[in-house]
Amino acid sequence: MPSASLQWARLINDKKDIPEIFTSCLSQILGDAITLPYLIYAPQDTWRGQTIHDKLLFTHNNNAYILENSNGSIMVFCHAFEDIITIEHGKILLYSWIRIESMIDDKVIHSIFQYNTVVESFFKEIMQTIRNSIVSKKIKANPNDKHGNFFSIEDLTCRLENYTKSCLLPYQKVASAVFQPAIFKRSWLISKDLLIPNQLLILTSEELIIYKEEFEKADISKFGGIWSYIPLNKIRSLERIVDTSASLIVLSIQFYGSKKINLSYPLTRSDDVSSLISQINAHIR
């Protein structure tokens, strides 16, 4: 992402620091609000040859907003908390993003906010605000309880375990988890293709959390990955599909509407996948 700190996303605490192009639209949304919400601004930048427009990210009145300056016109992306079906948090080296997906009239609407990983700490609060607001049930946090039910997962690296602990909300407990190490298939005598990336599925009483490395870029994904946070009340059903041609089992997570997420496992994980489906069903019914 940006090479200069002036292009990094930053918090805005004073109205005078809001870029003028956004002030009129922001005033219409906030109305008579005296204080600013937790407001993050990302200046225009380029990444992989693509122009990233300058944007604002904030929450207000049970909505998550992304305002985008598209060549002088402000585009407003509003996601009502009750419509959000998943939040994706990606981090690959210095490139990070938050992607919000909502289901409206059986159609998936999404918007994305990119930023430099250096300023990731700014986004923790707003991510927690959205996640706390969209989960199906909330448990009062105990400040003395530091994920006491988090258990060791066989073959889970220290890096992945730390990532997992950091993605849990303060009050969350891990009910179950399945870690799938990366699997490669040989394509030529000395080369291998990635068949399944490193992926970890975590079940809590509020969310299904999926971590996986970026499939197309396995060479650099060891420096980050993609987290998806799914409220359990947005899951309609789960299906276990056997793909005999590829010797894989596919766990298909179906949302209300047309969206689904598929996770692949080797046939040897059949019992683990079946057990996980049973546990998830027990939480969503």
d(CA 146, CA 283): 22
Would you tell me how many other CB atoms lie within 10 Å of the CB of residue 106? Answer: 10
pLDDT at 5: 73
Answer positive or negative: Cα dihedral of 69, 129, 228, 89. positive
Alpha helices in 118-264 (DSSP H): 121-134, 158-167
CATH class of the structural domain 5-134: mainly beta
CA distances, 109 to each of 60, 61, 89, 105 (Å): 19, 19, 16, 10
pLDDT at 167: 85
> Same CATH topology for 5-134 and 158-284?
yes
pLDDT at 245: 85
pLDDT at 278: 92
Burial of 38 (0-12, 13-18, 19+ CB in 10 A): middle
Would you tell me how many other CB atoms lie within 10 Å of the CB of residue 129? Answer: 16
pLDDT at 241: 93
d(CA 91, CA 12): 23
Stretches in the chain below the pLDDT threshold 50: 1-3, 138-154, 218, 220-221
What CATH topology corresponds to 158-284? Answer: PH-domain like (2.30.29)
**Where do the structural domains in the chain lie, given as residue ranges?**
5-134, 158-284
pLDDT at 145: 42
Closest CA to 179 of 146, 157, 207, 149: 157
pLDDT at 187: 67
**224-250: burial string, b at 16+ Cβ within 10 Å, e else:** bbbbbbbbbbbbeebeeeeeeeeebbe
Dump pLDDT digits (tens) for 18-68: 999 999 999 999 998 888 999 999 999 887 678 889 999 999 999 999 999
DSSP state, residue 220: T
